[in-house]
Amino acid sequence: MPRPALAIADHPPHARRTSAPRGRTWTLLVVLLSTGCSAGKAPVPRDEGIASSGGGMAFAGAPPPPPTRMMAVGTRGARNVAEQSAVGEAPPPPAGGAPQNAPSQPVDPISYLAYAFGLRLELPGDRLVGVMDRHVAACRDAGLRVCQLVSSRRDGDPTDTMRGTVSLRAEPHWLQQFMQTVQGDARNASGRVTAQWTTTEDLTREIVDTEATLKAKRALRDRLQQLLATRPGKLSDLLEVESELSRVQGEIDSTASNLAAMRTRVMMSALTIEYGTTAHAVASTAFDPLRDALGAFVVALVESSAALITAVGALLPWGLALTLVAWVWLRMRRRRRARRAAAAEAPAPREP
C-alpha cells in the first residue's frame, strides 16, 4: 500500500547527518526527471502540488495518485522514474469517457414518401350499400384535417351484381386504424377481403428541388422589389422591372402550389376501396344453357334481319326500274290488241 507522504525526515537522525548531501542530490534528480516526464502530460492540479522542505519532498493536498505516477526518493525510486519517462504514458481519457477524435454520428437523410393503399372487398349484395355508406360516413365524421373523401361511386343491382368504389386521403395513423375497421366490417357482413396492395412513390428529389427553386425565386423577387423602390430610372425601365416582378411572382405562386400539393401527398396517404358482389353458384350455372340459347336466338334474329335489310336495299332500285319497264310493255300490248280487235270488228266493203 503506498505511503501518503514520502519524506527523508523519516530516516534516523544519524542517517540524516551522514546522507544529507546525497539525499539532496537524489531529490534534485527526481525533480528534474519528474519535470521532463510531465512535459508530455497534462499539468498537475494545484491541489496535488509538491511541497518540499529541507532535504525531502512530499505530496500534499489530494489523496495519493495512482501507483504509475508515484515518485520515491532513493536509488530505486529514481530508476523507476527514469524507466517511466523512457517508456512514456498515454494521455488520460477525457472526462466524458469518449475519445477526443471519435467520428460524429451520421445524420439520416430526410425522405418524402407518398403511400397509397388499396382494398378489394367481396360482400353480399344486400349488405354492400350499408357497408359502403358506413365507410363514407366515417371519413366525413373524422373531419377534413384527418380524412378527405375524393370520390364515391356504385352501380348495379343489389339482387344480382353490384360494384362500388371509394377513394379518400387520410392521416397515416388514422388510416391504419380505418383499414382494420374496414376489414372487420367485411367479416361481420359475411364477406371477405379478396385483395390488398400498397404502393410507394419517392418525392424527395421533387420536393427538395422545388424548395430550392422557390427560395431562389423569392430572393429574386425581393431584389426586384428593392430595385423598384430605391433605384429611380426611366419610365420604360420601371415598367420593365414591374413586368419582370409580376412574372416572377406568378412563378412563385405556381411553384408554391405544386410544393403544397406534394407535401399533402406525403402527409396524407391515399386509400382506394373496391366493393363487389358475385352471383350465387346456382344462378351462374343452372340457367347457363337457357341463357346461351336465348343469346343465340337473338343473335340469329338480328343477323337475319340485317341480311334482309341489306338485300332489300340492294334490290329496290332494280325492282323499281323493272316495274316501270313492265308497265310500259303491258300498256303498249293492250293498245295493240285493241287496234286488232277494232279492225276485226269493222264490216267488209260491199262489191258493186
Q: In the predicted model, what is the mean pLDDT of residues 332-349? A: 78
C-alpha cell at 129: 350499400
Which range among 28-37, 148-157, 328-337 shows the weakest confidence by mean pLDDT? 28-37
pTM of the model: 0.45
Q: What is the DSSP string of 299-335?
A: HHHHHHHHHHHHHHHHHHHHHHHHHHHHHHHHHHHHH
The pLDDT value recorded for residue 70 is 36
First to last CA, the chain: 198
Q: Which pLDDT score, from 0 to 100, does residue 227 have?
A: 85
Give the least confident one: 66-75, 166-175, 196-205, 274-283. 66-75
- List the beta bridge partners of residue 153: 165
For residue range 76-118, list pLDDT tens digits in order: 443 443 344 333 444 444 444 444 444 455 545 678 899 999 9
Residue 332 sits at φ, ψ, to 5 deg, of -65, -35
> For the stretch 166-176, what's the b/e string if a residue is b when 16 or more beta carbons lie within 10 angstroms of its beta carbon?
bbbbbbeebbe
Give the closest residue to 135 by CA, choosing from 194, 179, 189, 187.
179
> Distance (Å, rounded) from C-alpha 306 to C-alpha 278?
35
pLDDT reported for residue 53 = 37
For the ranges 101-110, 196-205, 213-222, the lowest mean pLDDT is seen at: 101-110
- Give the pLDDT of residue 138: 95
φ, ψ for residue 190, nearest 5 deg: 65, 35
pLDDT at site 230: 82
Q: Over 80: is that where the pLDDT of 183 sits?
A: yes
Q: Is the pLDDT of residue 48 over 60?
A: no
pLDDT tens digit sequence for 290-306: 888 888 888 888 899 98
Left, alpha or beta for 206 (phi > 0: left; psi -120 to 50: alpha)?
A: alpha
Which segments of 231-271 does DSSP mark as H helices, in order?
Answer: 235-267
Q: Is the dihedral of CA 302, 307, 308, 314 positive or negative?
A: positive
How is the chain split among helix, strand and coil, in percent rounded to 5?
A: 60, 15, 25
Q: Angle of helix 235-267 relative to helix 204-230, nearest 10 degrees?
A: 150
- The mean pLDDT of 320-344, rounded to a whole number, is 86
